[in-house]
Amino acid sequence: MSFVAEVKTNNDPKWYRNAVIFKTWGEAHDYGLDLGNRWTAVVEMRVAETKDEPNYLWINGNLMEIKKEAET
């Protein structure tokens, strides 16, 4: 199980997410808070579970991509 941050924007009932997926709920939460501070239209944020594979880490306020090893 992995986690994503989802946001609602002004006058829109839908939840939106991007392709940033985290291993932990805490990483997704902290990233979502940061995203809400940068996007002026965000009115609500939540963390949702996903079966997608994690592809990012949130370390000390920085987004770090998880690099996959090349298959041979």
Task: Going residue by residue through the chain, which has 72 residues, state the pLDDT in tens, using 9 for 90 and above.
Answer: 999 999 999 989 999 999 999 999 999 999 999 999 888 899 999 999 999 999 999 999 999 999 887 665
pLDDT given for residue 71 in this prediction: 61
pLDDT at 22: 98
Query: What φ, ψ does residue 2 adopt, rounded to 5°?
Result: -130, 180
Residue with tokens 């940061």: 34
Predicted local confidence at residue 40, as pLDDT? 86
CA–CA separation, 52 and 71 (whole Å): 19
Which residues touch 42 (CB under 8 Å, ≥6 apart)? 7, 8, 9, 35, 36
Query: For the whole prediction, is pTM greater than 0.85?
Result: yes
Helix (H) or strand (E) holding 45: strand 42-50
